Amino acid sequence: MTRILLSLLFFTLAASASAQGQTRTTAAAPARGQTPAAPAARPQTNATAASAGAEVVDRMVAVVNGRELITYSDLLWQLALQADAPLDNPRQEDLRRVLDTLIDQRLIAQEAEKLPSVTPTAEEVRAELTRIIGFFPSQSEFYRRLNRVGLGEDSEQLREIVQDRVVIRKYLDFRFRSFTVVTPQEVEAFYREVYVPRRRRQSPGTIIPKLEDATAQIQNELIESKIESDIDAFLEEARTTAEITILN
C-alpha cells in the first residue's frame, strides 16, 4: 500500500487512447497479476523530444472507475521510488507489481475522499520524504534516480506523490489501526506457538525472553498482521465492485 505509499499523479497526455489505436479490455474486478503492456519505446524526455523534433507522448495504462488514470510514467515514477527496482527496460513482473500497487492506491484514495479532507502538514510531507530517502544509499542517489524518470528534486509531481502517500497512510490508520485490538489471550497464544519456536530456531542456545518482556513486541507484530489482513480484505472487496480498465 500507499498505495502504500504509495504515485497519484497524472502525466499530461498528448494523445487519447483511441488516437493511439489502443485496445481496451475491461473487467469488473481483474485479478492481480495482469501485466500492463509496455510501450514500444520508453516515453521521451522533453530534452530528447525537443532534439528529435517529436511530440512528447505518454501512454495510458489503466483507468480506475472511469476517472482515475494510470499512465506508463506513473509506473516509472513508482519504480523510481523503489531502490531495488531496475529502471532501464523494466521487467514485466515489476510493471505488473507497481500497476497493482497504483490501482490499490487509487481505490484507497477514492474511499478517503468520502471523509472530511485533511491536508497533510509540511512537516508530515517532509517526514515521509525523509523516510523514503532512507531506503536509498544516499540522498544524492535518490534524486539521481528520480531525475532519470523526470521527477526533479523540487518538482510538483514529487511533492504531490509524497503528499498523497501521507493522505493514504492517515486514512488507513484511521480506518484500521484505530480499531485494531489484541487481547492478552492472543498475545499468550502467539508467544507459545510462534514466538518461542521462532526464537529457538533463530538463536539456538540463547535465553528466550519471558512473556512479560516480549509482550510489547508481540502486540505490535499482531497489530500489524491484523491491519495488513484487514487492508487486503478491504482491497479485495473494493476490486470486486470497481470498474478497472486495462489498456493495451
Listing DSSP states for the chain in one string gives ----------PPPSS-TTTTTPPEEEESSPPTTPPPPPPSSPPPPHHHHHHHT------EEEEETTTEEEEHHHHHHHHHTSTTS--SS--HHHHHHHHHHHHHHHHHHHHHTTSPP-PPPHHHHHHHHHHHHTTSS-HHHHHHHHHTTT--TT-HHHHHHHHHHHHHHHHHHHHTGGG----HHHHHHHIIIIIHHHHHHHSTTSPPPPHHHHHHHHHHHHHHHHHHHHHHHHHHHHHHHS-EEEE-
**pLDDT at residue 52 is higher than 50:** no
Contact predicate 246/36, CB 8 Å? yes
Question: Residue 134: its pLDDT value, please?
Answer: 96
**CA dist., res. 26 & res. 30, Å (int):** 8
**pLDDT at residue 67 is higher than 70:** yes
Percent over 70 (pLDDT), the chain: 77
pLDDT bin (cut points 50, 70, 90) of residue 216 is: very high
Return the C-alpha cell found at 117: 479532507
Mean pLDDT, the chain, whole residue set: 80
pLDDT bin (cut points 50, 70, 90) of residue 115 is: confident
pLDDT bin (cut points 50, 70, 90) of residue 217 is: very high
Question: Residue 248: its pLDDT value, please?
Answer: 64
**pLDDT at residue 117 is higher than 80:** no
Highest mean pLDDT among 23-32, 115-124, 153-162: 153-162
Contact predicate 15/234, CB 8 Å? no
Half-sphere exposure of 90 toward its Cβ, with a 13 Å CA cutoff? Answer: 30
**pLDDT at residue 93 is higher than 60:** yes
Lowest mean pLDDT among 109-123, 143-157, 162-176, 191-205: 109-123
Q: Which amino acid is at 196?
A: V
| Mean pLDDT on 55-83 | 86
Torsion-angle region of 86 (φ positive above 0: left; ψ -120 to 50: alpha; else: beta)? beta
| Mean pLDDT on 216-242 | 95
In CATH terms, 24-179+243-247 corresponds, of 1.10.3470, 1.10.4030, 1.10.10, 3.30.870, to 1.10.4030
